Amino acid sequence: MRHLFNLLLLSCLTLNTACGQDNSNPPSQPMGKLSVVEAFPSLSFERPVDFQHANDDSKRLYVVEQRGVISVFENNAQTSTKSEFLSIESKVDDSGNEEGLLGLAFHPDYKTNGFFYVNYTANSPNRTVISRFNVSTGNPNQADPGSELVLLEFDQPYSNHNGGQIAFGPDGYLYIAVGDGGNGGDPKGNGQNRNTLLGTILRIDVNQNEGPKKYSIPSDNPFVGTTAGVQKEIYAYGLRNPWRFSFDSETGELWVGDVGQNKYEEIDIIKKGGNYGWNTMEGFHCFNSSNCNKEGLELPVWEYDRSRGDISITGGFVYRGSAIQQLTGLYIYADYVSGRIWSLDMTDSNNPVNTELFDTDFPISSFGVDENQELYLCGFDDKIYKFSLE
C-alpha cells in the first residue's frame, strides 16, 4: 500500500514471461451486467483496511479502520447504524501511511471462546504487535478493551512494509503477513534472512503455550528441525510486503499479493518453506541485476508492471460465493493506486488468463468476505463495495 500518485502500469507475464492477456483496452461494461456498488450506502469508515466476519452465524460484519477502531454492524444493505466494537487508538501508531491497526482475525471457535486477534504497529520502540482480545461477556457488539494478551512483538526498522494481514488457515493455525521492514530495496537484507521474522509469512498455534511464549510453534513448521539461527515461526519467506493474503475456502491454497519495489507487482501461491525471492528477484525478474541465482526460488503465478499506472497490488480472494457464478474459482484482486480490479483464472497453471473487470475511481485497500463467501472491497473513499448483477 502506498500514497496515491500517478505512475505507469500493467503488462502481465506468465511463468514463461509472455503476456497472458492484453488488458490495455478494458470493456466499458465488463462482464455484461456485473457492476461495483456500495454495499452499505448509509455507512462510512475512515481508511478501512480490513473486512471480516466471525463465522458465528450472527450476520455481523466487522470493518477495521487504520486509526485503531473496529466497527461492527448488521449484514444488511439498508443498515444505517454501526457500533464501536473495539478502539485501541491510544495503543496504535498510525503516523505513517502504512502503519496502524492493519489486521483482524476471529478464532475458529469464536462462537464459544470469544477470542479474536489483531495486528497493529506501535511506537517506543517501533514494532509490530500481535494480540488477542476477548468479546465482552454481556454485549456481543462490544469487545473488552482491557483483555489484551500480547502474543508476539517484533521491531520494525522503518515505518513502511509492515504487511498486516492475519488469518486462521484451514489447519486452525494463525498465519501472519510480515513485510521486509521497509525503506526501499530491503537495505538490511531481511527478505533472505531466516534469522528475522521480517519478509515472511508466519504460522503459529494460538491454542498452546511454549515456555514463556503465549503461543507455540506447530511441529510441522518447515524450519522446526533446522539448526540455530532460523526463526521457527517462519512458514515462507523472501517476501517484500505481503499486504493482503487469503485462503481459498475450497482448496485451502494460500494466495498472496506481494507489493513490488519499482517495477513489478506479483501474486504468489504460498508453499510451506518456500523462498519467494525478494530481494534477489522482483516478480519474475532479477532485482537490480541482469543476472541472479534463481535456484530454489518460488516464482510468482502472475505479475504486472507499471506501464499503465498500477503500482501497488491489493491481494484478494478466490471467489467461492453463489451470487456471481461467472466469477466462481477466479482469483479477484486489485491495485490500490489505480483502482483497477482483475480476475485471474489459474485453471491451466501454465497459461493463466488475467481479465480486467473494472477501472474504478477509488483506491482499493483490501478485500473481505461475509459468512456466505460473498466478496467485498474496502475503499479509501471511506466506503465498502461489493459486486452486483444488474
- State the pLDDT confidence band at 226, using cuts at 50, 70 and 90: confident
> Which residues are bridge partners to 38 per DSSP?
385
pTM above 0.85, yes or no: yes
Average pLDDT value for residue range 355-366: 97
Of 220, 219, 216, nearest to 205 (Cα)? 216
**Distance from first CA to last CA of the chain, Å, rounded?**
31
| pLDDT value at residue 10 | 31
Say whether pLDDT at 312 is over 50: yes
Say if 304 falls within a structural domain.
yes
Say whether pLDDT at 20 is over 80: no
Q: Residue 83 is part of which domain span? A: 12-389
Greater confidence (230 vs 11) lies with: 230
Residues in contact with 82: Cβ distance below 8 Å, sequence separation at least 6, in sequence order: 43, 63, 71, 72, 73
Alpha carbons 323 and 44: distance in angstroms, whole number: 24
Say if 248 falls within a structural domain.
yes
Average pLDDT value for residue range 199-219: 97
Residues in contact with 301: Cβ distance below 8 Å, sequence separation at least 6, in sequence order: 15, 267, 268, 269, 344, 346, 349, 352
Say whether pLDDT at 316 is over 60: yes
Q: How many domains does the chain have?
A: 1
| pLDDT value at residue 301 | 98
| pLDDT value at residue 31 | 53
pLDDT tens profile 123-180? 999 999 999 999 999 999 999 999 999 999 999 999 999 999 999 999 999 999 999 9
Say if 349 falls within a structural domain.
yes
Share of the chain above pLDDT 90, in %: 89
Alpha carbons 354 and 75: distance in angstroms, whole number: 31
| pLDDT value at residue 9 | 30
Average pLDDT value for residue range 188-192: 97
Judge residue 13's burial from the number of C-beta atoms within 10 Å of its C-beta, 0-12 exposed, 13-18 middle, 19 or more buried: buried
Say if 222 falls within a structural domain.
yes
Beta-strand pair 285-286/331-335: unpaired
Q: Lowest mean pLDDT of 185-189, 227-231, 316-320, name the range.
A: 227-231
Average pLDDT value for residue range 329-355: 97
Say whether pLDDT at 385 is over 90: yes
- State the pLDDT confidence band at 181, using cuts at 50, 70 and 90: very high
Say if 2 falls within a structural domain.
no
Say whether pLDDT at 26 is over 90: no
Greater confidence (246 vs 30) lies with: 246
The CATH number assigned to the domain holding 40 equals 2.120.10.30
Average pLDDT value for residue range 229-253: 97
C-alpha cell at 340: 483497477
Q: Is the peptide bond before 279 cis (omega within 30 degrees of 0)?
A: yes
Average pLDDT value for residue range 209-215: 95
- State the pLDDT confidence band at 227, using cuts at 50, 70 and 90: confident
Mean pLDDT for all residues in the chain: 92
| pLDDT value at residue 173 | 98
Say if 343 falls within a structural domain.
yes
Say if 6 falls within a structural domain.
no
Say if 238 falls within a structural domain.
yes
**Angle made by CA atoms 180, 2, 46, in degrees to the nearest 5:** 115
Alpha carbons 58 and 62: distance in angstroms, whole number: 12
- State the pLDDT confidence band at 267, using cuts at 50, 70 and 90: very high
Say whether pLDDT at 25 is over 90: no
